[in-house]
Amino acid sequence: MEWQACLDEYQKLIIRMSTPRVVIDNAACTTATIVKVDSARRHGTLLDAVQVLTDLNLSIQKAYISSDGQWFMDVFHVTDLNGNKLTDESVISYIEQSIETTYPDRSRGFNGLTALELTGTDRVGLLSEVFAVLADLQCNVVDAKVWTHNGRIASLIYVKDCNSGSPIEDSQQIDRIKARLRNVLRGDNDIRSAKTSVSMALTHTERRLHQMMFADCDYERKHVLQCGVDSPVVNVQNWTERGYLVVNVQCKDRTKLLFDVVCTLTDMLYVVFHASINTSGDKAYLEFYIRHTDGTPISSEPERHRVIQCLQAAIERRASEGIRLELCTSDRQGLLTDVTRTFRENGLNVTRAEISTAMSVAMNVFYVTDVTGSRADPEIIESVRHKIGLGNLKVKELPFRYHQMAERPEEQGIGVGGAVLVSLGSLVRKNLYNLGLIKSCS
């Protein structure tokens, strides 16, 4: 049986080699918690790590990604949304266990629900019509996310049957739901591009929304800069000698920014070999060295242009335009229909929405503008609040995303406006410095 013992040891070795190793250090840096991830190079490993951190609403102030052969070392400087280091042991333990899971489940607990995927042309009042149809078809919306970008809308809505509380599995009922929603999405002029689908498959909601909008080619459409959104600057250059495409991004800093960029690169089948992410004030500066998953470089000009378009779209999709309204009240059948109808009747357009329900309490967030995409009139907002309930619907400022620190001298002047192509040797030395001498946070 010696061969069996040897085989068991070999399998254990393979598992240890393929499983990411996580070290969390609260002593090395005075301003942030350091999360170091050491792993074999597997497509999607970087995204898995970033996804864990962003799902916890942590701010990634800095990050360094470097590869050596078939191994990756990722270092993240993270804080909570108030700029504090992580001290909750349960959060630290969750990060370690989640990242170290070889094949993580990122479905976020949507078992027992039916997922509705909708894409089409956005228009004022569309969300109100969608929720009205679902209420009429006896579908209870438990969770949902809605994004709009460049005149398009993508939504992932999790529902269950109002009467039984079970997922909707009857094929005839599913066909009715799809047909009714498709008619709503089509409106009068979107016969071809309106799409509806029903899925029992579990997926990460926000990654799926990126995939849906990417498949809908929102990045190719006429650019419509949304209210209050600063257009990101993306520059891409070929480094032929080293076989890399060098991607530089400069934009306004916000939560989940790194996830949006890495998610898009991953789903476009690119691998990040080296990267440096820095934030200064309310600005973020990201630099990536990428190749195709098969190791080949990117050479054509159309592909380079497509990378720029897709990254700009990925950053803008989640941009928090409009006034943020938070609804917290007892859940009931038709609640979303009534609320979104009130928005529509008062000339408010929902540009993004996050719907959730817990313990029979609805906790919903809406971003609204006027019908032209401009900032909504405060008097109209107050009128809507009175109709829905002043204690239920509140106007919220955007959360404090990053700890505001005085800029250090070495952080001054970082920028990608000129997209200066640096050498890989310089980048690697910088990353190794940060990896090996992590106590220096400057």
* 102-142 tens-digit pLDDT: 555 555 557 778 999 999 999 999 999 999 999 999 999 99
Q: pLDDT tens-digit profile of 68-84?
A: 777 889 999 999 988 99
Of the listed ranges 65-69, 146-150, 413-417, the one predicted with least confidence: 413-417
Of the listed ranges 231-245, 299-313, 344-358, 389-403, the one predicted with least confidence: 389-403
- The percentage of the chain sitting over the pLDDT mark of 70, rounded to a whole number, equals 79
Q: CA 416 to CA 350: how far, in whole Å?
A: 33
Higher per-residue pLDDT: 7 or 115: 115
Q: pLDDT tens-digit profile of 25-66?
A: 999 999 999 999 998 877 888 999 999 999 999 999 999 999
Higher per-residue pLDDT: 236 or 41: 236
Q: pLDDT tens-digit profile of 258-281?
A: 999 999 999 999 999 999 999 998
Average pLDDT over residues 171-191: 86
CB-based contact 315:233 (threshold 8 Å): no
Which CATH fold would you assign to the domain 114-203+321-396?
Alpha-Beta Plaits (3.30.70)
Domain with CATH 3.30.70.260 in the chain: 114-203+321-396
**How high is the mean pLDDT of the chain?**
82
Q: Please report, as a single letter, which amino acid is at residue 284.
A: A
Average pLDDT over residues 204-230: 79
Contacts of 266 (CB under 8 A, 6+ apart): 43, 44, 46, 47
Confidence of residue 187 (pLDDT cuts 50, 70, 90): confident
**CB-based burial of residue 59 (10 Å sphere; 0-12 exposed, 13-18 middle, 19+ buried)?**
buried
DSSP assignment of 72-132: EEEEEEEE-TTSPPP--HHHHHHHHHHHT-SS---S-S-TT-EEEEEEEE--TTHHHHHHH
Higher per-residue pLDDT: 312 or 436: 312
Please list the residues that pair with 283 across neighbouring strands. 252, 280
